[in-house]
Amino acid sequence: MSEGSVIDQDEALRTRAAAGLRSVADALVQPALTLAFALILGIVLIVAIGENPVAAYHAFLFGSFDNALDFGNLLAKATPLITTGMCVVIAFRGGAFNIGGEGQMYLGAFWGAVAGFTFVSLPGPLLILAIIVVAAVAGGIWAAIAGALKAFWEVDEVVSTLLMNYIAMLVTQYFVDNQFRDPTAGAPATTYIASQAWLPGILPPSAVTVGLLIALVIAIATWFLMFRTVWGANVRSAGTNRRFAQAMGVNVRRTLIETMFISGAIAGIGGAIEVMGVEHRFYQGFSPGFGFLGLTAALLGRLNPWGTLGMAFLYAALLNGAAIMQIQTPVPNPLVNILEGIIVVIMTAQARPRLGRLIGRRASAA
């Protein structure tokens, strides 16, 4: 190796380190400003309705950290956002904007539940594994269809995954309205899965379960898969420059379909975690839009696994703080929904140079 190239490498490293630091600062300043703006707006609104902003904010911001119960509930709320967030991150790195996490999660939850009340004779760990595998395959195939439509005929995946969300939810609705309905359940739901597959709580009596650990493993695996394996390098290269990747011998079509499969599989596992940890059955209304919330967490986390993980927890803290504020003070919960909306509306404003470059290509294709 010549001396020149060592110097080049050194300089490249230094530039990259500087850029990295800049991007960390960028990544922190923008959300901080946005949060500050939203919190000030919140104070104005609370004063306007004649309540005490100090008490409300104390409950909203610190309530989640007061005791193990509330902290556990925060973690429980973060769990599905982590999986749907990672689902978006993987697909995006492969050049596809998968907004079908909701539908993929519904199918994973449903077929996972079917596995859970069918293979009742399996011992706990094996049954849990079986449910996860079935859920991953169900969500994965659903997303891979959209991947194949894009790979072979350039059907826009934003559109196809959006449409397939509705199809998936109507199909599970059909199953729980007919063949798989538990007649004793008050709502459209299946029968309970075998109790050996119920995920144990880790901070009882809060709602958080071992499912959180599964979600964290998925987050770490996402990072490892995308940034530490040859497959991940190929996916990212196909995602950034299709022609170049093709010239380097990457089978771009196949990679895209595989990427979408993994992305959907993660969403599906997220659904199975909810089934095994929360409802212990498939219940048609189990998701208050986890797919879109996870999508938002991923976009706010700049489509980076760690950023997305952080945003999933932040988002969960907002949702949980709102619930606590509603219980402890007269300030209504919907006030936080307003703030949440404002935060998401303005969060990416001015962040365009960075996020805009990532997403701009997508927006123009849509």
Partner 1 sequence: MSSLGQLVNADLLGALLLYMTPILLAAIGCVFTQQANILNIAMEGMMLTAAFFSIAVGAATQSVSLAILGAILSAMAMSALFAYVVLVLGADVFVAGIGINLLADGLTVFLLERLYNNEGSYTPSTFPQIWSLNLPPDWSNQPGLGILYHMLNGQTFIVFLALVLVVVSHVVLYRTKIGLHIRATGENPEAVEAAGLNPTTLKILTVMISGACAGLGGAQIAMATLNEFIREMTNGVGFIGLSAEIFGNATPVGSLIASAVFGLANAVADRIQVIPSFNISPDLVLTIPYVVTLVALAFAMMRRRRNRIA
- Identify which of residues 232 and 239 has a Cβ nearer to partner 1 in the complex: 239
Stretch binding partner 1 (CB under 8 A), from 69-77, 109-117, 268-276, 357-365:
357-365
* Listed ranges 154-162, 191-199, 216-224, 249-257: which one lies at the site for partner 1 (CB under 8 A): 154-162
- CA proximity to 258, closest of 158, 140, 152: 140
* Strand partners for 283: 189
Q: Does 32 bind partner 1 (CB under 8 A)?
A: no
The smaller minimum CB distance to partner 1, of residues 123 and 289, is found at 289
State which of residues 1, 3, 121, 154 lies at the interface with partner 1 (CB under 8 A).
154
C-alpha to C-alpha distance for 220 and 226, rounded to whole angstroms: 10
Q: Residue from 164, 197, 278, 309 that binds partner 1 (CB under 8 A)?
A: 164
Query: Of 6-14, 127-135, 165-173, 262-270, which part binds partner 1 (CB under 8 A)?
Result: 165-173
Complex with partner 1: residue 130 or 162, whichever CB lies closer: 162
Q: How big is the CA angle at 358 (ends 139 and 351), to the nearest 5 degrees?
A: 115
- The site map against partner 1 for 96-115 (x = CB under 8 A) is -x------------------
Q: Among 267, 300, 317, 319, indicate the residue that binds partner 1 (CB under 8 A).
A: 300
The dihedral of CA 77, 79, 83, 86: what is its sign?
positive
DSSP states of 239-276 as a string?
HH-HHHHHHTT--HHHHHHHHHHHHHHHHHHHHHHHII
Give the count of beta carbons closer than 10 Å to the beta carbon of residue 207. 18
- Considering the complex, what minimum distance in angstroms separates the CB of residue 345 from partner 1? 3
State the virtual CA torsion across 358, 363, 365, 366 in degrees, nearest 10: 140
User: For partner 1, which residue of 33, 41, 159, 210 counts as binding (CB under 8 A)?
Assistant: 159
Beta bridge partners of 189: 283
Q: Which residues pair with 209 in a beta bridge?
A: 201
Examine residue 346 and tell whether it contacts partner 1 (CB under 8 A): yes
Decide: is 29 part of the binding site for partner 1 (CB under 8 A): no
Q: Which tokens belong to 199?
A: 């995920």
137 makes contact with partner 1 (CB under 8 A): no
Residue 349 DSSP label: T
User: Per-residue DSSP letters for 144-170?
Assistant: HHHHHHHHHH---HHHHHHHHHHHHHH
Q: Is 348 in the site for partner 1 (CB under 8 A)?
A: yes
337 binds partner 1 per the rule CB under 8 A: yes
List residues near partner 1 by CB under 8 A: 49, 97, 149, 153-156, 158-160, 162-164, 166-167, 170-171, 173-174, 177-178, 292, 295-296, 299-300, 332, 334-352, 355-356, 359, 363-364, 366
